[in-house]
Structure 1
Amino acid sequence: MAKHAPDMVVDKKDQLEQIEGICLPEELIHAVFDLKGQGTGFIGLTNKRIIFYDREFAKKAKAIVSLPYSRVVTVGSEDKGGFIFRKGFMVSDKLYVGVSGQEVKEFEFRGGDKAHQAHDIIMTYVLD
């Protein structure tokens, strides 16, 4: 069973359970965030990958998708016409993840603070 980081953040328990169900025994879950928007329902961040529920996977199916950090080439935040950061938090609640060989994935969080947390977790492993 997957392990939980001591400072793990979880928005909804049922989403955590779905992430736990597909994690490998040595994976460490850092966060599971509920998302807004039509395409994605939630995102899980482990020490090995980004896991997200995609309601429009391959334009036809619902799927839980795994994205290894080794495939991430860019991470960005939407600029809403001003500074991206304010008092240590992203102003935008949208995070963009560029994947080698694929289109950019867009994740809309329920607040800029959660987008900022996700950004920091992702960058920890992308820059490692």
Structure 2
Amino acid sequence: MTGPVFDERDQLDTVAAALLDGERIVAVYDDRDAGLLGLTDLRVLLRDDALLERRTALTSIPYHRIGTVSAVTDRALPGRAARPGRIAITVGERVHEVALRDAARARHAHDVILRQLLGS
């Protein structure tokens, strides 16, 4: 059995500190725009360093509350490259967009969430 996939050790430690008994970390990815994306076998965790003045919010979203997960790609404008590695998670009417380091991380995160939504 292999351990979780992660970008930064301190982010992995942040998610590990928030685990419930028996919960397992699948992956923890750096969010280039704001904080982190944590994926466990029970929920998605989002840390948004930009959400509140001088404070950090760690938000837990149970998979059953997620309506959709989307792979997001920007349309490249002339002279500008598209930014790969984004996903969007819809919870109710709120959309959480996460900018990961690359397309492979975004694909993995998308697929983990989608598998949970599909029950497989």
Per the normalisation by structure 1, the TM-score is 0.79
Flag as ranges the 4+ runs of structure 1 deviating above 3 A.
Answer: 79-82
Give aligned-pair identity as a percent: 30
Equivalence for 1:94? 86
| Deviation readout 1:50-71 (Å, 9 max, x if unpaired) | 01111244x5542111011011
Equivalence for 1:79? 73
Question: Structure 1 residue 35 and structure 2 residue 35: aligned?
Answer: no
Amino acid corresponding to residue 47 of structure 2 in structure 1: Y
8 Å Cα contact 1:77-1:92 kept in structure 2: no
| Deviation readout 1:12-65 (Å, 9 max, x if unpaired) | 11111110101012111000001111xx211110000001111244x5542111
Amino acid corresponding to residue 95 of structure 1 in structure 2: I
Equivalence for 2:19? 23
The structure richer in strand per residue is 1
**1:40-119 → structure 2 map (5 Å cutoff):** 40-57=34-51, 60=53, 61-81=55-75, 92-100=84-92, 102-119=93-110
Q: RMSD across aligned C-alpha pairs, in angstroms?
A: 2.0
Distance apart, 1:80 and its partner CA: 3.4
| Deviation readout 1:76-125 (Å, 9 max, x if unpaired) | 1223349xxxxxxxx8311000002x410000000000000100111111
Distance in structure 1 (CA, Å) of the matches to 2:20 and 2:46: 15
Tell me, which stretches of 5 or more residues in structure 1 are unaligned? 83-90
Tell me, which stretches of 5 or more residues in structure 2 are unaligned? 77-82
Distance in structure 1 (CA, Å) of the matches to 2:29 and 2:69: 17
- The size of the alignment, in residue pairs, is 112
Distance apart, 1:7 and its partner CA: 5.0
